[in-house]
Structure formats: C-alpha cells, structure tokens
Amino acid sequence: MSYEITGHTVLTGLLGSPVAHSVSPMMHNESFKVLGLDYAYLAFDVDTQHLKTAVEGLKVLGVRGFNLTMPDKNLMADYCDRLSPAAEIIGAVNTVVNDNGILTGHTTDGIGYMEAAKDAGYDLTGKTMTLLGGGGAATAICVQAAIDGLKKIHVLNRKDTFFPRLQSLVDKINERTACQVLLHDLADERCLADCIGESHILTNATSVGMAPNTQDCLIRDPGILRPELIVSDVIYNPRETRLLRMAREKGCATFNGMYMLLYQGAAAFKLWTGQDMPISHIKQKYFS
Ligand code: NAD
C-alpha cells in the first residue's frame, strides 16, 4: 500500500519529554496506512516550559489533535477550551482534539484500561476493585471505572503530599457517579488485605515493579491473594511484574498494561479520525 505525505496530510502527534521511546508514532502511522488515511503522527520533545508555545503553534498549523505524555498531562488541561467529563474530574488530559481552533481535552488512559479488561474477557460492571496508586494512571482508571459502572473502588495510596488532593478527587467521583470510592493509606496492611478480600480485581497503577526495579512489589504477603481474584498491572515493562508472577503462582488470572497502552491509543485515534484502529493488525505488529 502506498503512503505519501501530501499537501493535504493531516497532522497529529505526541508532546512530552522524553518521547523518542514511544510506540505511539508506529501504532498511529501504521493504522493510517492500513486504513488509507492521509494523516501523519509525529513525536515532539516538549517540556512544560515550552508547552504553551508549542500548543499555540500547533493550533495555528491546524493539526487535528495530539497526545500528551509526562510531564505535560496536567498543564495541558489549563490550555484546553473544553474538557471531557473524565478529564475535568482528574484535571489532566492525554488527548486533545482540535476542532477549528477549539481544543477539547480527553483522558483515554482509563478507557484503555477498561478496554484491556474487556479484551481479557472481564466485564467489571457492578464489581469491586482494589486500586493501588493515586497518580496519573490510577486516577484515570478510577474515574473511568466509576463512569463505566463499577460498584466500589478501594484506592490505596501512600500518605504523601498528594493525599489531600486525592481525597478531593475521590469526593468528586463520589458526587458525580453512582460508584462508591474509598481512599485508604497504603501503609495499612490490614486494610489492604480487607480491601482485596472483598474485591473481584486488584490493579497496580503505581510505578512499583517497573524496570529496572523489577524486584519491587507492593504486595508483601501472597496469602492475601486468592485464585478467584483477577490481578492486573498497568506496567508493561516487564511484561510480567513481580506482582503478576506472584498472582499467577497463586492461580489468579492476570493481565498487564500492554493493551491499556494499545486501547488508549485506539480511543485517541477514533476521536481524531472517527474510525476504529485496526486493532488485530496493530496487536500482531507491535504488541505480540
Ligand atoms: P505518577 O507519577 O503520576 O504516579 C505514580 C504513583 O505510584 C503514585 O500514586 C505514587 O504514590 C505511587 N508510587 C511510586 N512509588 C511508590 C512506592 N515506592 N510505594 C508506593 N507507591 C508508590 O505516574 P503514572 O503516570 O500514574 O504512572 C504509573 C505507572 O503506570 C508507570 O509505570 C507508567 O509507566 C504506567 N502507565 C501505563 C500506562 C499504560 O498505558 N499501560 C499508561 C500510563 C501509565
């Protein structure tokens, strides 16, 4: 299939720092090629100091939209004209759509996680989740899971300076959705065991266990896991974290963060093009 940059090519891309390692350019450009769309996706190394100027420039250039990665996700929310309900609650965006100069910010990480759970065969509607972490990935998952109809979410985070902000975010989710979200101190081991005990799924949404610190794991006692529990990790490097290995050895079903990455991209792709990303092709080419 031919694929050329033309005078009509629509630009999309990624802003953040660093960005050179990202799989997003491959995933999007391959999808444009497969679907015959005259679009291109480029990665731009832009830190928070230069974000405003970069966004103004992209707006003038008429790009269709862009993704944001660290450290730009929070600041970008301030530069959007509109925010999706989920992005408004968490105050961060990873996808922007440009409609003739009107920038709408979305957060697709949570959508990516919920789609990954579906892909693994789990319908989490009405279920209870224990969610470890309170950073970008965790809050995106928490909001989307609440919107998508989970019954209860126990969020456990360390009591750092972010904890009070996390409590107000949890309060907002409780006000705006039917889901009951409870925030706990991650250091309380007894509480952690109780939360997991009443959950259908345990999700690590912290960076604990990510390469190169692959020996780290927030669950110290494998005895608090039981075979009926689904255990997932947002980390995809390594593919099997110490937590997932421990869970597998206890007989739990597990899934990692690979498909969360794929489906957050697919959600952005749909917002920009109106078309579905060719998922099985992209899975086979970049995620197998
Ligand atoms: P972040 O910095 O916003 O949040 C990090 C979280 O980890 C915080 O809640 C922090 O309290 C917790 N944490 C870190 N070290 C800890 C420790 N030693 N003990 C207890 N808690 C600790 O980062 P983020 O953007 O939320 O990313 C978290 C992880 O999610 C990273 O590994 C990232 O690669 C991954 N991620 C994956 C996807 C995906 O698509 N699969 C998307 C986004 C992020």
- Ligand 1 atom closest to the Cα of residue 138 is 26
134 CA from centroid of ligand 1 (Å):
8
Query: Is the peptide bond prior to 238 cis by the omega test (within 30 degrees of 0)?
Result: yes
pLDDT at 288: 87
Q: Taking the model in full, what pTM does it have?
A: 0.96
Q: What pLDDT score does 2 carry?
A: 53
Residue whose CA lies nearest to ligand 1 atom number 34:
235
Q: How far is the CA of 97 from the centre of ligand 1 (A)?
A: 25
Give the residue numbers marked as catalytic: 73
Q: Is 136 in the pocket of ligand 1 (CB under 6 A)?
A: yes
Closest CA to 233 of 215, 245, 221, 222: 245
Pocket of ligand 1 contains residue 236 by CB under 6 Å: yes
- 112 touches ligand 1 (CB under 6 Å): yes
Buried/exposed code over 211-244 (b: 16+ C-beta within 10 A; e: otherwise): eeeeeebbbeeeebbeeebbbbbbbbebebbbbb
What distance in angstroms lies between residue 262's CA and the mean position of ligand 1's atoms?
Answer: 18
Predicted local confidence at residue 1, as pLDDT: 43
Q: Whose CA is nearest to atom 32 of ligand 1?
A: 207
| Per-residue model confidence as pLDDT tens for the chain (288 residues) | 456 899 999 999 999 999 999 999 999 999 999 999 999 999 999 999 999 999 999 999 999 999 999 999 999 999 999 999 999 999 999 999 999 999 999 999 999 999 999 999 999 999 999 999 999 999 999 999 999 999 999 999 999 999 999 999 999 999 999 999 999 999 999 999 999 999 999 999 999 999 999 999 999 999 999 999 999 999 999 999 999 999 999 999 999 999 999 999 999 999 999 999 999 999 999 998
Paired strand residues for 153: 129, 181
